[in-house]
């Protein structure tokens, strides 16, 4: 499991009260977190605590760039920002991950930055700025709604050129969520994991922990609770956790590793973290055990609501992500022990080239159902259908719909 160590170069963070606002102290703190076992350093220059106000890109850059430049040669560095210009400059300074709590809603160009640089991007669930987030905390089914909204953000990222294997998902605990909704989001983490991408959980020192600990618990007690949640997140199949107290978290995960010697990541899912040190084209959700990706399958079809679409036809592009146990195939090196993606591609192509439908929503659902039924070893399937030549008068790059199916006991969602 990846442990993201938080480095706040801010004067007003809820978690440390500006303890590392001085850049020299922030750099030293980053090195301390690495020594304690952090695998990634997440460096941020603007507080996103409830009620906080934005500071502006120039000030944010002034705070974070020297810290990123100092630490990028020693660690995998993530920049915690929702501004495209900050992400762009941070990547140029050595950051290998962009962590956007807004999921591209605040500044959609951030997806283009990630796509151009080939870096990973953590897409957070978000409904609005920190200054007014609780007004938007309205849910009927927390986990399902978070997953659906994250799926839309992933589709937008892909439309901007980001590959699925660059994407990490963050359910945004505490963002536009009451304490009760935050706990529900954690209990229903499988809803987000069913999207077939690595999931990052960040609960460290957040206010909602007080519902378990009592009013205004000390920082030490919140750190202890955060470490417990990190263990539970690992058991639920999360790829990583974002924490302030790295030592407590790595100790807790080490205990879990002894308790479950098959490996922390294998406790629930068989998934492993994306390797930020690997070349961009080979890292992320597509390259980790437990996931097979079939992306960019271009097939001619005659789907659409207009008669000329059915008469003339057009090209559709399909992305398929499968979640399954790949360990048997890895051990045997035998195609019989895994899903034959060539045969799967033929099955998908047959559906796209077959009976016309009006909507790509219908087409995506049909493909997702067929993919889940294709092989009993598939635990979950995420299918995105792109219609790059849709008859729209306005200039656009892509139209896409995503459908998710998960095997749950006797049925699928």
Distance CA 45, CA 3 (A): 20
Measured between alpha carbons, how far is residue 139 from residues 172, 177, 336, 376 in Å?
14, 9, 44, 33
The three-class DSSP label of residue 209 is: helix
The secondary structure of residue 335, as a DSSP letter, is: G
Close Cβ partners of 332 (under 8 Å, ≥ 6 residues apart): none
What does the block give as tokens for 108?
Answer: 């959609």
Give the CA angle between residues 105, 117, 174 to the nearest 5°.
35
Close Cβ partners of 76 (under 8 Å, ≥ 6 residues apart): 39, 40, 41, 96, 97, 276, 277
The three-class DSSP label of residue 309 is: helix
Close Cβ partners of 398 (under 8 Å, ≥ 6 residues apart): 158, 159, 386, 387, 388
What does the block give as tokens for 119?
Answer: 């870096």
120-124 and 240-243 beta bridge pairing: unpaired
Work out the number of other CB atoms within 10 angstroms of the CB of residue 395.
5
Close Cβ partners of 65 (under 8 Å, ≥ 6 residues apart): 89, 90, 93
DSSP string, 145-191: HHHHHHHHHHHHHHHTT--GGGEEEE--TTTT--HHHHHHHHHTHHH
Nearest CA to 6 out of 52, 54, 38 is that of 38
Q: Can you state the angle between helices 23-36 and 57-71, rounded to 10 degrees?
A: 50
Residue with tokens 């605590």: 49
Do the Cβ atoms of 270 and 327 come closer than 8 Å? yes
Largest CA distance in the chain: 68
Which residues are annotated as catalytic? 206, 242
């Amino acid at each position: 499991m990846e442990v993201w160590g938080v480095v706040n170069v801010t004067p007003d963070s809820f978690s440390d009260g500006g303890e590392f606002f001085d850049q020299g102290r922030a750099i030293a703190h980053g090195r301390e977190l690495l020594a304690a076992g952090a695998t990634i350093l997440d460096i941020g220059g603007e507080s996103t605590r409830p009620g906080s106000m934005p500071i502006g890109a120039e000030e944010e850059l002034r705070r974070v760039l020297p810290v990123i430049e100092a630490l990028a040669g020693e660690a995998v560095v993530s920049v915690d920002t929702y501004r495209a210009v900050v992400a762009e400059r941070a990547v140029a300074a050595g950051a290998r991950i962009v962590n956007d709590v807004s999921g591209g809603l605040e500044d959609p160009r951030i997806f283009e930055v990630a796509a151009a640089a080939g870096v990973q991007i953590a897409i957070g669930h978000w409904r609005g700025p920190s200054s007014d987030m609780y007004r938007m905390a309205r849910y009927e089914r927390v986990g399902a709604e978070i997953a659906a909204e994250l799926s839309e953000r992933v589709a937008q990222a892909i439309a901007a050129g980001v590959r699925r294997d660059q994407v990490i998902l963050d359910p945004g605990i505490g963002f536009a969520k009451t304490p009760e909704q935050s706990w529900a989001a954690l209990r229903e983490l499988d809803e987000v994991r069913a999207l077939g991408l690595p999931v990052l959980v960040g609960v460290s020192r957040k206010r909602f922990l007080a519902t378990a600990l009592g009013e205004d618990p000390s920082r030490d007690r919140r750190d202890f609770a955060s470490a417990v949640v990190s263990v539970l997140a690992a058991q639920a199949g999360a790829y990583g956790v974002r924490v302030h107290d790295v030592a407590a978290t790595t100790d807790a995960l080490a205990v879990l590793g002894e308790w479950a010697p098959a490996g922390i990541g294998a406790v629930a899912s068989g998934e492993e973290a994306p390797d930020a040190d690997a070349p961009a084209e080979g890292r992320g959700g597509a390259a980790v055990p437990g996931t097979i990706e079939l992306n960019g399958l271009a097939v001619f079809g005659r789907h659409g609501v207009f008669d000329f679409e059915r008469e003339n036809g057009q090209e559709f592009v399909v992305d398929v992500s499968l979640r399954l146990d790949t360990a048997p195939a890895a051990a045997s090196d035998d195609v019989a022990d895994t899903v034959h993606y060539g045969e799967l591609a033929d099955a998908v192509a047959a559906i796209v080239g077959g009976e016309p439908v009006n909507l790509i929503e219908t087409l995506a659902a049909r493909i997702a159902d067929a993919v889940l039924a294709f092989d009993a070893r598939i635990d979950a399937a995420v299918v995105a259908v792109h219609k790059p030549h849709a008859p729209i008068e306005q200039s656009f790059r892509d139209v896409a719909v995503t459908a998710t199916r998960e095997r749950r006991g006797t049925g699928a969602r």
